[in-house]
Amino acid sequence: MTKWLLATGLLMPLYSAQATQDPEAVYNRVCGACHSGQLPTAPRKGDQEAWAPRLAQGMETLVQHVTQGFKAMPPRGLCMDCSAEDYRAIIHWMSE
């Protein structure tokens, strides 16, 4: 029993560090409203030229911008059930 609890304790942080939501589903539900072209300042999915200067700022800065809001980006990107890990996954998915 002790070994099982120890293993669970060691693996739990690894599990929780992963995104809990599918990036494409979140994009379709929330992000696409602005990032599919309706808001000219929002980089479109797959537009590597638009994403390059943003990615150069670092992922933590981008996650902070989404979480706190930045320019036209509303706080939390209007995804109230997204975690920081979800935001990282969505940014990565959108910028590919």
pLDDT in tens, 44-85: 999 999 999 999 999 999 999 999 999 999 999 999 999 999
> What's the rounded Cα separation, in Å, for the pair 79 and 35?
14
Per-residue pLDDT at 21: 96
Question: Average pLDDT, whole number, for the chain?
Answer: 87
Mean pLDDT, range 31-43, rounded to an integer: 94
Q: Which two tokens stand for residue 55?
A: 């990615």
> What's the rounded Cα separation, in Å, for the pair 42 and 33?
10
